[in-house]
Amino acid sequence: MRSTRDVVKAPADQLGHYSDPPLLVLASLVSGPKHGHAMIEDIAALCGARLGPGTLYGAIARLEQQGWIEPLPAEARRRPYRITPQGARVLRAKLATLRQFVRAGTRRLETA
């Protein structure tokens, strides 16, 4: 069985990438409208996670249904999406929660 010591010794990039597809899509679209392939590349550059096409469109469908992103007219059969004001609010709230988590986690690490 793998011990926790192995995990601690592992370089950070071996622990996997952060992956929350809806959040990553929102974070990608906040810098401007993008179509699917551009989103995958942007997210990979943003955090190292490369979303599969099925995962990406699963997230896009749910986010659109929520009204957090909206489609723009298709360009050469590729449809760009943009974040809505409501989506930006959700992203801001989610990032604030993550920031709080990072701060609390870092504090605990420092005192451990």
Interface with another protein (CB under 8 A)? 22, 35-37, 40, 52-68, 74, 76-79
Q: List C-alpha distances in Å: 42 to 2, 54, 59, 78, 106.
A: 34, 17, 15, 16, 27
Which of residues 5 and 77 has its CB atom nearest to another protein in the complex?
Answer: 77
| Distance (Å, whole) CA 6 – CA 100 | 28
Distance CA 60, CA 81 (A): 9
Closest CB to another protein among 47 and 55? 55
In whole angstroms, the minimum distance from the beta carbon of 22 to another protein comes to 4
Nearest residue (CB) to another protein, 29 versus 59: 59
